[in-house]
Structure 1
Amino acid sequence: MNALVNCNRGVEVAYGADRFTATLAQVYSTFFERETFIFPVPTGTAGNGLALGAITPSYGTIFCHEGAHIVTTEAGAPEFYSGGGRMTLLAGEHYKISPATLEDGLQRHGIGNVHHMAVSALSLTQATEAGVVYGLDELRALSAIAHEAGMKVHLDGARLANAMVHLGATPAEMTWKAGVDILTFGTIKNGTMNAEAVITFDSEIARILSVMHKRAGHLCSKMRYMSVQLLSYLEDELWRRNALQANRNAARIADALRPCAGVELVHPVHINEVFAILPPSLLQALRHKDIHLRPWNFQGNRQGFRMVMSYCDSTEQIQRFEQACCEHGPSKA
């Protein structure tokens, strides 16, 4: 908020020619340890659509998990931005694609078969929709398979900061060193107001993006308001501090739930998300503490709950959750 106020003084050149936007590429190149091309966008959907549209022709297909956000919750944005591309869906536990699954999917689809959509991109979500993180070895293995097939690799990084601090990985290790060609760098879920970024390390992809970015309506006249958020996000490692705190808050919630009778944690807790099936008695105890959870459907038509923790959750709120779990009682197993 201070950055937004401070940039709201004097007169700046429009459409990204301002002094704040001018420093983005240099700052992010330092952050990623190599030349980086950055394109601010207001939403993750816009970011994913632009990123995938830049590497997927109208006759191409994007390999991704069947439960990926680009499949279930973005209203066909990748197909729209690519001008007709499609998605080839793969299964995998905790919303992760394994190297074996990718290889099998490519073999079944066929590479170079003119009767099929051209294999163009692999999109991976880090962390996944289940809050589970790909290890660096997994990313490298998947990227190698994709590149061998002639595909580009996209990373949907809506919660990339949370994944990085979980692994203790650097931005470079998580992206281009692991074979990622382009990513949607999410910051809104970790502190900014309306600023995400499409980032690539490939000058040819950047050339395509520069045209698409304007045509899609995302070259804002007052770009500085987005750029200062992206700059402030990196200052003094704000991104790391926020992500660490959010992850720690989720770990406390998971630790409070584990001993409780009738609780099932559906996915491993790697970042700031907890997915759980809870007994009615615990739900009642939580409601008595004025804590209400979001229902969530799991495989097998099982209903549970999704809990997403923030860097700014109050200690008092988390303590109320822990107290409700304590009062509910431990498992007798």
Structure 2
Amino acid sequence: MNALVNCNRGVEVAYGADQFTATLAQAYSNFFERETFIFPVSTGTAGNGLALGAITPPYGTIFCHESAHIVTTEAGAPEFYSGGGRMTLLAGEHHKISPAVLEDGLRRHGIGNVHHMAVSAFSLTQATEAGVVYELDELHALSEIAHAAGMKVHLDGARLANAIVRLGVTPAEMTWKAGVDILTFGTIKNGTMNAEAVITFDPEIAKVLSVMHKRAGHLCSKMRYMSVQLLSYLEDDLWLRNALQANWNAEHIAGVLRPCAGVELVHPVHINEVFAILPASLLEALRNKDIHLRPWNFGSKGQGVRIVMSYCDSTEQIQRFEQACREHGPSEASSLRVHR
């Protein structure tokens, strides 16, 4: 917020020719340890659509998980930005795609078959929509398979900072060193107001993006207000501190829930999200503390909740959650462990 206020002085040249946007590429090149081309956008949906549209022709297909955000919750943005591209959907536990599943999907689809959509892009989400991370060796293996098939690799990084701190790796190791060609760099979920970015390390892809970025209406006249957010996000490791705190808050809440009677954690807790099935009595106890959780459908497992923790969750909120869980009581097994 301070950065937004401080850039609101004087007169600047419009459409990204301002002094703040001028430093953006160098700041992110330093962050990723190589030349980086960055295109600010206002939403993650726009970022994913532009990124995938830049590497997917109208006759191309994007391989991705069947539960990927680009499939379930973005209203066909990748198909729109690519001018007609399609999705080839793959399955996998915790919304992760394994190398074996990708290879099988490519084999069944057929590479170079004129009767099928052209194999063009592979998109994965880090961390996944289930809040689970891909390890570096998994990223390398998937990228190698995709590149061998002639695909470009896209990373949906809506919660990339949370995944980076979970694995204790560098941004470079998580992205281009692991074979990523282009990514949607999410910052709004970790602190910015309305600034995300499409980032590529390939100058040829950047040429395509520069035209698409304007044509899609994302070259803002007052670009400095987006650029300063993306700059301040990196300053003094703000991105890192926020992600560490959010992840810690989620693990803390998961630790509070695990001993509670009738609670099931559906996915491993790797970042700042907790997916759980809670008994009605616990949900009622939480509501009595003015804590209302978002319902989440786990298919055959039934109805549960999704809890997304933030870097700015208050101690008072967390204490109310803990109190509700204490009043609900531990499971029988937990009680026995404590007694012993």
Aligned residues: 333
Q: Which residue of 2 aligns with 1:275?
A: 275
Q: Which residue of 2 aligns with 1:323?
A: 323
Q: What are the superposed Cα offsets for residues 263-315 of structure 1, whole Å, 9 maximum, x if unpaired?
A: 00000000000000001111121112111111110021600000000100001
Deviation (angstroms), 1:142: 0.3
TM-score, reference length from structure 2: 0.97
State yes or no: 1:159 paired with 2:194: no
Identity, % of aligned positions: 89
Q: Which amino acid is 1:246 matched to?
A: A
Q: Can you give the 5+ residue segments of structure 2 that lack an aligned partner in the other structure?
A: 334-340
Q: Which residue of 2 aligns with 1:218?
A: 218
Q: Which amino acid is 2:272 matched to?
A: N
Q: Which residue of 1 aligns with 2:17?
A: 17
1:300 counterpart SS class: helix
Q: What are the superposed Cα offsets for residues 55-109 of structure 1, whole Å, 9 maximum, x if unpaired?
A: 0000000000000000000000000000000000000000000000000000000
Partners in 1 of 2:33 and 2:235 — Cα distance?
A: 16
Q: Which amino acid is 1:142 matched to?
A: L
Q: Which residue of 2 aligns with 1:30?
A: 30
Q: Which residue of 2 aligns with 1:261?
A: 261
Partners in 2 of 1:36 and 1:11 — Cα distance?
A: 27
Displacement over 4 Å in runs of 4+: none
Q: Which residue of 1 aligns with 2:338?
A: none
Partners in 1 of 2:285 and 2:321 — Cα distance?
A: 9
Deviation (angstroms), 1:187: 0.2
Q: Give RMSD over aligned pairs.
A: 0.6
Partners in 1 of 2:222 and 2:192 — Cα distance?
A: 16
Deviation (angstroms), 1:325: 1.0
TM-score, reference length from structure 1: 0.99
Q: What are the superposed Cα offsets for residues 129-157 of structure 1, whole Å, 9 maximum, x if unpaired?
A: 10011111100000000000000000000
Q: Which amino acid is 2:76 matched to?
A: G
Partners in 2 of 1:143 and 1:299 — Cα distance?
A: 30
Q: 1:134-283 alignment to 2 at 5 Å? A: 134-283=134-283
Q: 1:82-101 alignment to 2 at 5 Å? A: 82-101=82-101
Q: Which amino acid is 2:191 matched to?
A: G
Q: Which residue of 1 aligns with 2:285?
A: 285
Q: Can you give the 5+ residue segments of structure 1 that lack an aligned partner in the other structure?
A: none
2:8 counterpart SS class: coil
Partners in 2 of 1:7 and 1:286 — Cα distance?
A: 42
Partners in 1 of 2:217 and 2:146 — Cα distance?
A: 30
